[in-house]
Amino acid sequence: MLGLMQDRPLLISSLIEHAATFHPNTEIVSRLPEGNVHRTNWGALRDRSKQVANALKSLGIGQGVRVGTLAWNSHRHLALYYGVSGSGAVLHTVNPRLFPEQIDYIVNHAEDQILFFDITFAALVEKLAPVLKTVKAFIAMTDRAHMPAIQVPNLLCYEELLDAQSTDYTWPEFDERSASSLCYTSGTTGNPKGVLYSHRSTLLHTLMELAPDTFGISSSETLLLIVPMFHANAWGAPYAAAMVGAKLVLPGPHLDGQSIFTLMHDERVTFSQGVPTVWLMLFQYLDANPQIDPRSIGVKRIGIGGAAVARAMLERFENDFGAEVVQGWGMTETSPIGVISKLLPKHANTPPEELLKIKLKQGRGVWGVDLKIVDAMGVTLPWDGVAFGNLLVRGPWIASGYFRDEGGAVLDADGFFPTGDVATIDPDGYLQLVDRAKDVIKSGGEWISSIDVENAAMSHPAVAEAAVIGVAHPKWQERPLLLIVKRPGVAVEPGEILAHLSQRIAKWWLPDDVVFVDSLPHTATGKLLKTSLRQQFRDYQLPGTR
């Protein structure tokens, strides 16, 4: 027997309609590539989104057609989030930090018919245009005065195109399982693969993102979105902000420490999300300007994911900023919320040192995401916080496969998606990431977690950033090599670092050598690019093997 409740589809257009109806005057503040700060609100953004939808219609873009963006976080990009997906087309957010060849591959693979781009990427677009076979129009996201002088066919001006459209548009109703947006994983291995989100998966994910035990976002929030809108839908925050009518602050391309500090401070930001590398840039700015009191920002919560949170980072936010750190684990394929780190009532009297260990775990399961860890044979492992194995996840906002069936069938017999991560889960359901399966260091048949060694190194005051990779060893197969970027102007010797580590990690995990480097390479999504480091140090001779 079926229930008798209304079968209304869960559609992204409902989010912007809600925000505009109940929070029309709540602001959306953007720092644009042109340099100025722009202010609009949810009411006006709905109108702009409807103009986007009408513009797409005038360009012949129908349901299911892919519309690409090469753009930073701004109100213009936000209007595309709603106008493109709301009209039934598919918003394909391309990561502009990828190599040009990868962008070319992705846009062609997705068969984008329109490409919206920020003027920052004008030269890139001009270079790529001849090979982007399916793109019928290139739309520069700016006004007439700032139009780039480039030679591409069918170059249009965003503001002009939209101004010419009516704000009268009725959002279509369609199957909630229809595709809404497309995001390619950055492809640290192999070609990038497309993750195709649906309206339904997006709305369910958004609901969970608001919950008090996850990011706890409400209408009283001012949200600074540092996570790019081209990275897993900015962790869903553009949708979450609309669902509750929160104020949004969008930094455009200005992600340096000073710009982020100024926006946070001036707009009274209460919650901000970003990967560890952007927070390191903020810290560097504050280090250089010790007269600034980080508490003057007034930020209450910092969401961190994409890479492990180091103890030093967590403590700095808690102690210097007076902010709570909410760590999350996820990936493009998980929309991206997988687990979120929040304490339980039972932790009320837990001693600080113990509490810190819990906070540094990636987090606990949320409704909607089933977790399991398995050994090499696929046998399920216990949740004892010790046994570690391959992590698999299942749920309504987890990918079932990749766009155009790249990589073939990916789910296991029970419908779980293999994440490529190795983790433990403790009896309270806290997941701790040991490593990415391909980054784990295999020493004498045992595994060393590069994340743990990096975190231990990062707790030394002279260390700005650390990476640990496995280097071939004649006896042990692999041994860890620690690469360190020092804080500016600080002198430190390898021996001091190793002494510091020996207090914190097992003796056999101690790196065989420490090398100081000027900088470490990162992927387009801000993670340490270990493939490149392994390549660079492939022939490195560890002490004792020279």
Kindly list the catalytic residues.
Answer: 185, 333, 442, 447
Side-chain half-sphere CA neighbours of 228 within 13 A: 21
Nearer to ligand ADP, 88 or 328 (CB): 328
| Phi–psi pair at 478, nearest 5 degrees | -140, 150
Report the nearest approach of ligand ADP to the CB of residue 261 (Å): 23
Report the nearest approach of ligand ADP to the CB of residue 329 (Å): 4
Residue number with the shortest CB distance to ligand ADP? Answer: 331
Nearer to ligand ADP, 204 or 433 (CB): 433
61 burial via Cβ count (<10 Å: 0-12, 13-18, 19+): buried
Collapse the DSSP code of 467 into the 3-class scheme (helix H, G, I; strand E, B; otherwise coil) and give the result. Answer: strand
Nearer to ligand ADP, 180 or 432 (CB): 432
Binding site for ligand ADP (CB under 6 A): 185-186, 188, 232, 305-308, 327-332, 362, 419-421, 433, 436, 523, 525, 527
Q: Which long-range contacts (CB under 8 A, 24 or more apart) does 312-321 make?
A: 312/458, 312/459, 313/276, 313/279, 313/280, 313/283, 313/458, 314/356, 314/359, 314/360, 315/356, 316/283, 317/279, 320/286, 320/294, 320/295, 321/294, 321/295, 321/297
Q: Which amino acid is at 364?
A: R
CA gap 458, 477 in Å, rounded? 26
DSSP class of residue 317 equals: I
CA gap 305, 376 in Å, rounded? 27
- Neighbouring CB atoms inside 10 A of 4's CB total 6
Quick check: 364 and 431 in contact, CB under 8 A?
yes
Nearer to ligand ADP, 112 or 435 (CB): 435
Collapse the DSSP code of 203 into the 3-class scheme (helix H, G, I; strand E, B; otherwise coil) and give the result. Answer: helix
Collapse the DSSP code of 82 into the 3-class scheme (helix H, G, I; strand E, B; otherwise coil) and give the result. Answer: helix
Nearer to ligand ADP, 27 or 426 (CB): 426
Q: Which two tokens stand for residue 335?
A: 């929309």
Nearer to ligand ADP, 303 or 511 (CB): 303
DSSP calls for 129-148: GGG-TT--EEEESS-GGG--
